[in-house]
Amino acid sequence: MEFQEAKNKFVQAWGSLGNKWGVNRTMAQIHALLMISHQPLSAEDVMSELSISRGNANMNLRALIDWNLVYREIVPGERRDFFVAEKNTYKVAMRIIKERRKRELEPVVSLLDDFKSIDAKKDDAEVVEFKRMMEELGAFTSKADRAMDKLTRTEESWFFGTLLKLFR
């Protein structure tokens, strides 16, 4: 397989994977392109490589910066912004988990906490079942939230050591 074909396949596959994880496909493709690049890329480089608009490139680059997966880098003699991706795979995974936790799990935990104070007749079977289910979901999501919080604060060696123990 030629390098360019392998590069294109990787960028497309990362985009599809990102899309399955709830991340914008173009955002994931830009991330893939920057991860495998040996030098910083400008927004124009990204636009050209992926055949996307300036607005799409800029919006997704900003999102990647917000997720702490991509950084601006100054290239001497250039006025344009250049971008590089975090190359440490463990850090990338932890940052994605942290961001998804913040965007997806924390709002659910908060919403379920709000349901604890529902005001209705306690003898109504429908209310009793609703409250029971909300408490059960709340307990589960709170545990998942704490586990993800702990996971994102672990050292790489502990994480992989624990992961390997699970598969023995």
- Per-residue pLDDT of 83-103, as tens digits, reads 999 999 888 888 888 888 888
- Per-residue pLDDT of 10-55, as tens digits, reads 999 999 988 887 789 999 999 999 999 999 999 999 999 999 999 9
Angstrom distance (rounded) from CA 145 to CA 64: 23
Nearest CA to 29 out of 14, 39, 44, 40 is that of 14
**What pLDDT score was predicted for residue 120?**
67
Q: What's the mean pLDDT when you consider all of the chain?
A: 88
Residue 123 in this model has a pLDDT that exceeds 90: no
Specify the amino acid at residue 141: T
Q: Which fold has domain 3-85?
A: Arc Repressor Mutant, subunit A (1.10.10)
Contacts of residue 15, Cβ cutoff 8 Å, sequence gap at least 6: 25, 26, 28, 29, 32
Q: Where are the alpha helices (DSSP H) in 37-105?
A: 43-50, 54-66, 89-100
DSSP letter at 77 equals T
- Backbone angles phi and psi of 2, in degrees to 5: -75, 155
> What predicted TM-score, i.e. pTM, was given to this entire model?
0.77
For the chain, the domains span 3-85, 89-158
